[in-house]
């Protein structure tokens, strides 16, 4: 008897199905293995090469027409020159008359305008930086080397006191104070320097040192007054410094005509002359006016830059200027900082005033001996972005405008008031970077954010 087939055992009719199923399972396992190992093969691929950084030249071109500080300042100068040229044209009756028949002969208006403007700006350059005619005369033996360096000498002479008053205003700005009193502090500084210069019988060298320190002391005293009032009583420094400007001016006018101060050989308001032992030495001989005050100005610029950026006091000063409440919470004495700010600002302005009587500008006190260096210092500080080295460059620019303006007036008939207008235009355009950006369609700066407000970020 034949036994029935065992269902567990293989059967001839079932073998093909088993082989097909085994092949399908093997294929499925292979596909699953491929799915599992696919990420491993992707990880093994080499990384793509990193994008190359743009070259230095490419970065320069990208930022050349961007709203950075350099571009805005340069374009502000261009705008001021263009507007100044328009003012020259409309203020000259001869040139302006050619525009009455411009439709019939436009060449007359164009040529006369170009002649006036080009000669004026050429004389501005010759009087402040370099005169090619003087250089040719030196090569030919018609004049000496002093004539070649005369424009630079005049520029540095006018710039030296502006560096000090500009630093005075800028230092107070960085500390959150608006020092309008640089004019009064410079006035007291020039008084003290002059009194020490002709009242104290001291040997050379020591006499000069004492006179310079006396000018710094006078400015420090006049800066301490609004500083202590601001710190102790909360009185606003703008009001105090403006009022002290008037006090200093009238004190100078009264002091000049007093016995022992007024020149006994004169009947007008002028003091005795400062002794030669107390005068700053001239750097390029007696025929050129540039003196050692410009060297002191550069040294003061370095000192202020070091104070602000390298010293603990400078950090406290900037912290108070940025946020007095936060600085007070951090343990910084805001009262002490305010007083020190105004004292240091007064010292700088006093040194600027002493340059006016110890240098080559004047040798005696007069009611106008200080001129407007204190108020011009505000413009210099704004133009220099309240940065020490920027203030130095701005003072050199203002000195060049003043020195070149004298030649413009003498050779081109352009009034000095127009030079003042040029200075004001430069400051206006630099103080309004959004206007310059809109006119020239500048891109936003990438490297650094352009400050549009002086008070922001101090």
pLDDT digits (tens, 9 = 90+) for 51-87: 566 666 666 656 666 667 777 878 888 888 899 899 8
* pLDDT (0 to 100) of residue 36: 47
Whether residue 436 has pLDDT greater than 70 = yes
State mean pLDDT over 311-318.
Answer: 93
pLDDT digits (tens, 9 = 90+) for 388-398: 999 999 999 99
At 435, the pLDDT band (50, 70, 90 cuts) reads: confident
Q: Is 151 exposed, middle or buried (0-12, 13-18, 19+ CB in 10 A)?
A: buried
Dihedral sign, Cα of residue 167, residue 172, residue 173, residue 175: positive
Dist CA 210 CA 216 (whole Å)? 10
Please, which residues bridge with residue 250 across strands? none
Is residue 282 helix, strand or coil? Answer: strand
**Mean confidence (pLDDT) of the chain:** 84
Residue 291, phi then psi, degrees to nearest 5: -130, 180
Contact of 303 with 295, CB cutoff 8 Å: no
Dist CA 383 CA 423 (whole Å)? 10
Task: Give the list of residues 6+ apart from residue 12 with CB closer than 8 angstroms, or none.
Answer: none
Please, which residues bridge with residue 282 across strands? 291
Whether residue 21 has pLDDT greater than 90 = no
Dihedral sign, Cα of residue 191, residue 195, residue 198, residue 201: negative
Radius of gyration (Cα) for the chain, nearest Å? Answer: 37
Is residue 262 helix, strand or coil? Answer: strand
* pLDDT (0 to 100) of residue 453: 41
Query: Among all chains, which residue has been given the structure tokens 């002969």?
Result: 105
Domains of the chain: 69-97+115-440 (1.10.3470)
Task: Give the list of residues 6+ apart from residue 188 with CB closer than 8 angstroms, or none.
Answer: 218, 219, 221, 222, 248, 251, 350, 353
**Entry pTM:** 0.80
State both tokens at 242.
């403006």
Dist CA 380 CA 395 (whole Å)? 6
- C-alpha distance from residue 80 to each of 330, 378, 436, 457 (Å): 45, 18, 11, 27
pLDDT digits (tens, 9 = 90+) for 219-238: 999 999 999 999 999 899 99
Dist CA 396 CA 152 (whole Å)? 10
State mean pLDDT over 11-34.
Answer: 49
pLDDT digits (tens, 9 = 90+) for 238-266: 999 999 999 999 999 999 999 999 999 98
* pLDDT (0 to 100) of residue 301: 97
Long-range contacts of 106-113 (CB under 8 A, 24+ apart): 113/85, 113/89
pLDDT digits (tens, 9 = 90+) for 138-169: 998 888 899 999 999 999 999 999 999 999 99
Angle at the Cα of 167 (from 432 to 338), degrees rounded to 5? 100
Q: Is 208 exposed, middle or buried (0-12, 13-18, 19+ CB in 10 A)?
A: buried
Dist CA 10 CA 4 (whole Å)? 13
State both tokens at 59.
């970065």
End-to-end CA distance of the chain: 113
At 439, the pLDDT band (50, 70, 90 cuts) reads: confident
At 47, the pLDDT band (50, 70, 90 cuts) reads: low
State both tokens at 380.
């210099």
State mean pLDDT over 82-104.
Answer: 90
Share of the chain above pLDDT 90, in %: 60
- C-alpha distance from residue 422 to each of 29, 59, 80, 82, 409 (Å): 87, 33, 6, 10, 14
Number of C-beta neighbours around residue 197 at 10 A: 31
């Amino acid at each position: 008897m034949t036994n029935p087939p065992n269902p567990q055992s293989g059967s001839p009719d079932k073998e093909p199905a088993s082989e097909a199923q085994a092949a399908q399972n093997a294929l499925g396992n292979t596909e699953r293995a491929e799915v599992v190992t696919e990420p491993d093969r992707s990880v093994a691929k080499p990384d793509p090469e990193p994008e190359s950084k743009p070259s230095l030249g490419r970065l320069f071109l990208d930022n050349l027409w961007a709203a950075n500080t350099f571009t805005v300042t340069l374009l502000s100068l261009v705008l001021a020159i263009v507007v100044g040229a328009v003012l020259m044209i409309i203020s000259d009756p001869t040139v302006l008359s050619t525009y009455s028949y411009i439709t019939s002969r436009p060449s007359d208006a164009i040529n006369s305008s170009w002649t006036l403007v080009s000669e004026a700006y050429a004389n501005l350059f010759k009087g402040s930086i370099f005169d090619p005619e003087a250089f040719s005369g030196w090569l030919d033996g018609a004049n000496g080397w002093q004539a070649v360096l005369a424009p630079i000498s005049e520029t540095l002479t006018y710039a030296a006191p502006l560096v000090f008053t500009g630093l005075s205003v800028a230092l107070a700005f960085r500390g959150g104070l608006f020092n309008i009193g640089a004019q009064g502090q410079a006035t007291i500084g020039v008084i003290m320097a002059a009194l020490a210069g002709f009242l104290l019988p001291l040997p050379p060298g020591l006499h000069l040192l004492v006179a310079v320190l006396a000018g710094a002391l006078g400015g420090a005293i006049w800066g301490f007054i609004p500083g202590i009032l601001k710190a102790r009583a909360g009185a606003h420094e703008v009001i105090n410094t403006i009022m002290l400007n008037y006090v200093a001016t009238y004190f100078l006018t009264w002091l000049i005509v007093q016995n022992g101060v007024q020149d006994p050989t004169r009947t007008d308001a002028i003091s005795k002359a400062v002794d030669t032992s107390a005068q700053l030495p001239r750097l390029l001989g007696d025929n050129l006016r540039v003196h050692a005050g410009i060297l002191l100005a550069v040294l003061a610029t370095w000192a202020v830059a070091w104070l602000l950026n390298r010293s603990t006091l400078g950090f406290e000063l900037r912290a108070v200027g940025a946020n007095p409440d936060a600085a007070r919470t951090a343990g910084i004495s805001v009262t002490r900082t305010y007083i020190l700010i105004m004292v240091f600002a007064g010292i700088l302005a006093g040194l600027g005033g002493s340059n006016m009587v110890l240098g080559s500008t004047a040798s005696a006190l007069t009611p106008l001996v200080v001129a407007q260096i204190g108020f011009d210092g505000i413009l210099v500080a704004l133009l220099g972005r309240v940065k020490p080295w920027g203030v130095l460059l701005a003072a050199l620019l203002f000195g060049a405008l003043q020195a070149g303006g004298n030649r413009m007036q003498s050779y081109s008939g352009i009034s000095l008031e127009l030079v003042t207008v040029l200075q004001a235009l430069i400051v206006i355009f630099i103080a309004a970077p959004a206007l310059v950006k809109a006119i020239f369609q500048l891109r936003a700066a990438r490297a650094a954010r352009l400050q549009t407000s002086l008070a922001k970020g101090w």
